[in-house]
Structure 1
Amino acid sequence: MFKNLKNDLPASIVVFFVALPLCLGIALASGAPLFSGLIAGIVGGIVVGALSGSQIGVSGPAAGLAAIVLASIGTLGGYENFLVAVVLGGLIQILFGVLKLGVIGYYFPSSVIKGMLTGIGIIIILKQIPHFFGYDAAPEGDFSFFQTDGGNTFSGIINAFKSISLGSTIIAIVGLAILILWDKVLVKKAKIFQLVQGPLVAVVIGILFYAFTVDSEGLSISKEHLVSVPIPGDFSSFLGQFSFPNFAVIGNTDIWITAFTIALVASLETLLCVEATDKLDPEKRVTPTNKELFAQGTGNIISGMIGGLPITQVIVRSSANIQSGGKTKMSAIIHGFFLLISVILIPRLLNMIPLSVLAAVLLIVGYKLAKPSTFKAMWSAGRKQFVPFIVTILGIVFIDLLWGIGLGLMVGIVVILYKSYQNSHFLHIEDVSNGKHRVKMTLAEEVTFFNKGAILKELDQLPEDTYLTLDVRKTRYLDNDILEILEDFSEKAKGRHIDIKLISERGEVENPESYIQFFKLRPKSA
């Protein structure tokens, strides 16, 4: 690992610059103590980085879990109770790895996954708008769109516009402009702009703005609009900043539901990130997915035990690592140590960061998750992709994350069944000769009970005096339900003067006596 230190050390600095504001920002979006985001970043870098089989992936608190954390802290009755779910979620992830469920990500339709990430991006944007304008009266509101106080997410944003803090808003706009300029223009101009990242520059400008306007009546930013990280007086007080799980609530059913949700979503997001980073890796190394689940589970256990947020592998930090020339896992590990050192040595400086600047960083994160181009691409992919995608988004935004994923998955299944219903057979009407309609029906490769309705409908609509050719040469699996339909239809066909010719691999049969017996005699390969 150390032979690539000349590449990994500069890359780790870049990842640190990206991770520091994001750790704080994601904790803010999660409604958790800001220190918890730093803990998760440290554990994700040092512990998960050391155990992971990925050479270029970087783990830490993820925007994709912010919605779950925000909802769960309130539902479970406090952050210490929520930490129990994080620890249990880590244990479940290790179990996933032992059971070799590293392929779990492949069983969710891509339309639902893209809808999940887009919905999360929209929620992050909506929930950070109040922070952007320096309005901190319960800025996140309730996680659900319709809130317990009778309002909703949009009414909360409208209320924020009525109490704008001028200083917070100005520096948020400046920070947002820096981020956009850095990402779209400067990073392409010189290597220095790749080494020093836009989020860090925005944070530094925010600190300077606060320092120079602290005594100004119109532009000063009040304490409640700043980051609030505990400042330790010594090492023992530093250790006192950590929260610990309240295992007295471990018997609560909601704790286990939240733990399973964390394990599932964190595993899914990690596996999707692994797939993406492996494709970006110049050396095309393949990450062992089950080992990655073990590493992530261990990281979540440790993070939960000392007060940190849930951890996943994160595509933003991983891609920054790859683009900065990171070669091995040392870059992720070193960035974790940089985070640890910053928490110990410069907490006073961290407490000068305006929350509105972090909101600007998160608005960019949310936008990257919910780009308009994603909507355009899904629309171009057709209705069977777009409908589950948009249903997932609406479910997440207007209900919650689990409902959104569940509804999207249900719609995806319905689409599959409908397409299966449509594609069970091909019907071709040839001509009319000697008073008989000539119709050819070709069955698909696999025909199951899902296709009963479509086939039965076509058979019942055949007119009298029809010559039906039933072609099953391409069919490799024919459900018994379909055989029973054909048996019943053969009886009806006699009364309707319908002749049937069956074409199979074994040849042609006119008006077979029994379809069931015929198919039982077919070769096993068929």
Structure 2
Amino acid sequence: MRAPRLPQLSDLRNPAVLRRDVLASLVVFLVALPLCVGVAVASGVPAELGLITGIVGGVVVGLLPGSRLQVSGPAAGLTVLVHDAVDSYGLAALGAIVAVSGLLQIALGVLRFGRWFRAISLSVVHGMLAGIGLVIVLGQVYALAGVRQPSDGPGKIAGLPGLAADILDGGPQLTAALLGAATVAVLVLWPRLPARVRVVPGALAAVGLATAASAVLGLSVAKVQVGGLLDAVAPPGSDAFGRIGSVAAVGTVLAFTLIASAESLFSAAAVDRMHRGPRTDYDKELIAQGVGNTVSGALGALPLTAVIVRSAANVQAGARTSASRVLHGLWLLLFTALLPVAISVIPLTALAAVLVYAGVKLVPVKEFASLWREHRGEAVVLAATTAVIVATNLFEGVVFGLLMSVVKSAWDTSRTRIDVRTLTGGRLVATVTGNATFLRLPRILEQLEGLPKDRPIELDLSGLRHLDHACRTALENWAPAHSDDGTDPVSVRLPVPTAL
């Protein structure tokens, strides 16, 4: 049966579609706001640059074709690279690096490199989601209590006992943690309320209630602080582009390009599995991301990618068209440029609670349980991908997961069987069938070395579908050395044609 058609932008004339997109955009805005600020702070740049990047990701990338429900913004996976780039070349050169990276992304999209990212294992996608979810949760539990979080995954895990001690000591940390926990409780309970109440998105209701409670009770908790956006805009000049002419700077540009492209297109693969609408055009999405980074760089802001947390929130909030992601960018622009006071009353702990809830929902517990029962090897790939993402970063974790998937596939396909039969006169024929690769070579040699050494043996490899060079060389070297005295040699019948 064909999947239902996802509505087009023209369908916004339908009030039901428009209402769902508007409400979804507000949810995404609430999720995007702390991400924009948090990524900027972690990157060592002013918070306003993260908001500018989020606006570009919503308004510019949101209007371009590619993925209809995927939402772009500051790249959490690039925070370390951005920090190093700013330290090495200065904040003024950051825009130049981002702009050139965007142009390279456009070139890759035009050359149709994006479609190659469709070859990604489902277990790697689920591992990516779980890894990002855990990284978000581990980081935001610190923000929940208003405590500075460690910079890496292992540090965040090791710091949890200290965080608990800080909260239990009382003071502002306990107040912030209680307000954040109450916000999480609202998010958990909201889906169980009557439908007429759930017309308002849970994230919007939770943040609104937390903000009201903070104001009414006079709680001493940190609030969102944002300066002027126009003052933060700093287009890179000729000097900035001159600073990125060294070999090291070119390497930084290439790293930005590849990591941003990989994160965006891996995210697209994950988002496509969350809905039943049209699939992402990977080449067009890569071009759209390139245009977004070119514009972001021209404004002197941060690199952007598709952000799975925002994208998942967009899908889960019921978005139907790309209008939701464009509107989320407009909300960022409206509230940060025209109504900064409206943002300044929102407690940071409430926004952290929204992220904690979103991060937990990204961890595919049901999928992992199902894989463990039916495809244990895929479950191992999922768990390993998640662990490496938490320990290092998103890009390295996904690459590790892909490598594990390739090795697993090679192992699964390189199955061999050895049948031994005895002919008249005592001659043995050992027939090897299947796919003989170096992965199965130890087992093959172990079985062959168990054959008698005092009689003639014929090793029949003609039934193999594949025989790689390592196996052929090892078997040809094994044959003359198998017999005790060499009087009863092993003859080898190779496949025709031979697969090397």
Per the normalisation by structure 2, the TM-score is 0.79
Q: Secondary structure at the match of 1:211?
A: helix
Q: 2:419 aligns with which of 407, 428, 451?
A: 428
What displacement does 1:363 show?
0.7
What displacement does 1:399 show?
4.1
2:186 aligned with 1:173, yes or no? no
Cα distance change, pair 2–94 in 1 and its aligned pair in 2 (3 A): closer
Q: Secondary structure at the match of 2:150?
A: coil
Cα RMSD (Å) of the superposition?
3.9
CA contact (8 A) 1:274 1:287 kept: yes
- Structure 2 counterpart of 1:227: 224
2-side partners of 1:83 and 1:68: how far apart? 14
Q: Secondary structure at the match of 1:299?
A: helix
- Structure 2 counterpart of 1:235: none
Alignment map for 1:71-110 (pairs within 5 Å)? 72-73=82-83, 76-77=86-87, 82-110=94-122
Alignment map for 1:103-502 (pairs within 5 Å)? 103-135=115-147, 139-143=148-152, 145-146=154-155, 152-154=158-160, 157-158=163-164, 160-161=166-167, 162=169, 164-165=171-172, 166-182=174-190, 184-186=191-193, 189-190=194-195, 193=198, 195-214=199-218, 219-221=219-221, 225-230=222-227, 232=228, 238-244=229-235, 247=241, 249-251=243-245, 256-257=250-251, 259-278=253-272, 284-315=277-308, 317-318=310-311, 328-380=321-373, 382-416=375-409, 418-419=411-412, 423-429=414-420, 436=426, 438=428, 440-444=430-434, 446-448=435-437, 452-464=441-453, 465=455, 468=458, 470=460, 472-473=462-463, 475-479=464-468, 482-485=471-474, 487-488=476-477, 491=480
CA contact (8 A) 2:39 2:50 kept: no
Report the count of equivalent residues: 478
What displacement does 1:354 show?
0.7
Q: Secondary structure at the match of 1:312?
A: strand
1-side partners of 2:456 and 2:355: how far apart? 67
What displacement does 1:270 show?
2.9
- The letter of the residue matching 1:157 is L
CA contact (8 A) 2:309 2:359 kept: no
1-side partners of 2:347 and 2:203: how far apart? 13
- Structure 2 counterpart of 1:508: none
Cα distance change, pair 129–321 in 1 and its aligned pair in 2 (3 A): closer
Q: 73-82 vs 162-171, which deviates more?
A: 73-82
CA contact (8 A) 2:129 2:364 kept: no
- Residue ranges of structure 2 left out of the alignment (5+ in a row): 1-7
1-side partners of 2:161 and 2:243: how far apart? 35
What displacement does 1:24 show?
1.6
Q: 2:65 aligns with which of 43, 46, 52?
A: 52
What displacement does 1:256 show?
4.9
- Residue ranges of structure 1 left out of the alignment (5+ in a row): 233-237, 501-510
2-side partners of 1:330 and 1:254: how far apart? 40
Q: Secondary structure at the match of 1:472?
A: coil
1:388-447 deviation line (CA, Å, top 9, x unaligned): 433333333334445544554555555455556xx35201345x6767375542322x54
- Structure 2 counterpart of 1:505: none
Cα distance change, pair 415–22 in 1 and its aligned pair in 2 (3 A): same
1-side partners of 2:301 and 2:360: how far apart? 25
Q: 2:51 aligns with which of 25, 38, 49?
A: 38
What displacement does 1:192 show?
5.7
- The letter of the residue matching 1:384 is G
Q: Secondary structure at the match of 2:418?
A: strand
2-side partners of 1:373 and 1:265: how far apart? 29
- Structure 1 counterpart of 2:3: none
1:52-99 deviation line (CA, Å, top 9, x unaligned): 233x3242226xx42531564267427655555433432332232133
CA contact (8 A) 1:425 1:443 kept: yes
